[in-house]
A and B are shown apart, each in its own frame.
Chain A
């Protein structure tokens, strides 16, 4: 068994008094694409944000690269952050600066690369997501799908070891969505990335998933490989793989 790159144990997450995740344990393995599945509002985004410390977990443990990150010092955690790229559900590009500048932020923040190298890296990443033309545009001038892709370019700017994507293909047409899947698979192979993805699209899951985590009502209903998931007898999982919808 491979050693987990992200390991979550008994995570409880709350907003105020409302428990959203109730004792969730999850492992993400290196160089695999792990897909988080679950109905709208079941806590997928919350899980990701708690793992990445954007919210402080109410209780439980989160280990990234084998180190406990809850309560870790700021500088030590920054070091870990430099190896993680995150694509937010709504892109979360900084609206006041251009796409190019958005992507340059992580590069300038975490490396001492020269401006020329940085520029080349940005151009390559933009090309990978088919946005070569839009470097100097501002986020407000892009369509929803383009914003997503630009945000993905920013997430992979630093060639992170872990890439986390919250619904990368929601709102994209099937072709773009498929090419994005290809890109994600390519990244996994070329850069040996470990990828954690939230997605609902059955087609996309069949294309990319190595491992499935199925959340329902704040609890883990199923974890296992894609193959195991397809044969699962758990009612909700079975229904999802049969009709592509949540019960």
Chain B
């Protein structure tokens, strides 16, 4: 590299192996005026070499030099690899805190608006769908009930039983100290019926069915199946969501009832083996203690849990962005969101009954 009469002469190959050294060498000429860059002795240039030329070019600012004596080959390489004509990649501008908050609020408002529309749509079409099955596949409610209800029964049953055992065991030691053994039945009955049965079922359903609803809808969305349904004048909500809504509405009371009963049975094991109660005494106490209100509250809120799971699963599914990766993302988000909202609803429900009764 030589500078003479305002002409910079480059030599040899300009490649990814040489340009680092060349740039270093060039830095000594940075403040000189350079009118021309003589390329005569350059034998070869790859894309790194051309990037080096671009770099020189730009670093010299306004008085950019002319490239002279360029061989055809190098000229072609220059035309192909030079970034000078390419528009700068627009870098996302950083935004101020106010913009950030404003954007967040705007997005939040939009997404809640969409969620409310979806909710209204789902309730409307689910109601219409009871009487008019048009736009639904034959047998889809049965199929969904099998998936949501029957297939989930095993795991819900097992976990309820274990939960019943644990609850009873935890309290048995305390109760025994006071000779209040029989109250384990009260505890099991009330807690399973009003709280543990519904919430356990809802959380398992959120994990099983909520995720499958979100991922199914999201997949249909990214593979354009949703668009295809629209093109056949089929409302995607009626075709995809309504059968699931009906199925979960049918299944949830059965699952919650099963979960509750199995959990109480779990308590029975502890009552009989550890607290020396008879099974008959235990069950009599359970039945005495329960009121119709407890049962209705437990079942009632489980419907809300079920609907929240379907609505949140659908919301995330329909709002998927991107391809396969997006499907995984919304599936996770929907499970987290539905468990969150199930627990929030439960808390609200408890507050209402706490203050009213």
Contact = CB atoms under 8 A, between A and B. Distances in A.
Given A97-B137, A109-B135, A88 B232 contact: no
B55 interface: no
Interface in A79-109: 81-82, 84-86, 88-90, 92-97, 101, 105-106, 109
A93 B231 CA distance: 12
B225 A54 contact: no
Nearest to B222: A90
A178 to B, nearest CB: 26
A56 interface: no
A92 B231 CA distance: 11
B11 interface: no
A106 B223 contact: no
B284 to A, nearest CB: 49
Contacts of A90: 223-224
Contacts of B230: 53-54, 81
A201 B216 CA distance: 34
B232 to A, nearest CB: 5
Contacts of B216: 96
A227 interface: no
A49 interface: yes
A92 B228 contact: yes
A130 B278 CA distance: 72
Interface residues of A, number: 26
Interface in A120-137: none
Given A90-B223, A109-B135, A82 B228 contact: no
Contacts of A85: 231
Contacts of B137: 97, 101
B223 A86 contact: no
A95 B223 contact: yes
B232 A92 contact: no
B83 to A, nearest CB: 20
Nearest to B234: A109
B225 A78 contact: no
A88 B227 contact: yes
A52 interface: yes
B233 A92 contact: no
A49 B227 contact: yes
Given A92-B225, A93-B225, A95-B225, A86 B231 contact: yes
Given A95-B223, A97-B137, A109-B135, A88 B228 contact: yes
B321 to A, nearest CB: 10
Interface in B227-261: 227-234
Given A92-B224, A95-B223, A105 B231 contact: no
Residue with the greatest number of chain B CB neighbours at <10 A, chosen from A54, A77, A94, A97 = A94
Contact of B232 (A89, A96, A101, A109): A109
A88 B224 contact: yes
A94 B137 CA distance: 12
Contacts of B225: 92-95
Contacts of A78: 233
A92 B227 contact: yes
A206 interface: no
A78 B223 CA distance: 22
Contacts of A97: 137
A52 B234 contact: no
B125 to A, nearest CB: 12
A105 B232 contact: yes
A106 B224 contact: no
A67 interface: no
A109 B137 CA distance: 10
Contacts of B233: 77-78, 81-82, 109-110
A106 B231 CA distance: 9
A61 to B, nearest CB: 20
Given A94-B228, A97-B137, A105 B234 contact: yes
Nearest to A54: B227
B231 A54 contact: yes
Given A92-B223, A95-B223, A86 B228 contact: yes
Nearest to A78: B233
Contacts of A105: 232, 234
7 contacts: A77-B233, A78-B233, A85-B231, A86-B231, A88-B224, A93-B228, A95-B223
Interface of A: 49, 52-54, 77-78, 81-82, 84-86, 88-90, 92-97, 101, 105-106, 109-110, 154
Given A88-B227, A92-B225, 15 more contacts: A77-B233, A78-B233, A81-B230, A81-B233, A84-B231, A86-B228, A86-B231, A89-B224, A93-B225, A95-B219, A105-B234, A106-B232, A109-B135, A110-B233, A154-B228
The 9 A-B pairs of least Cβ separation, nearest first, read A92-B224, A92-B228, A78-B233, A81-B233, A86-B231, A106-B232, A88-B224, A54-B227, A92-B225
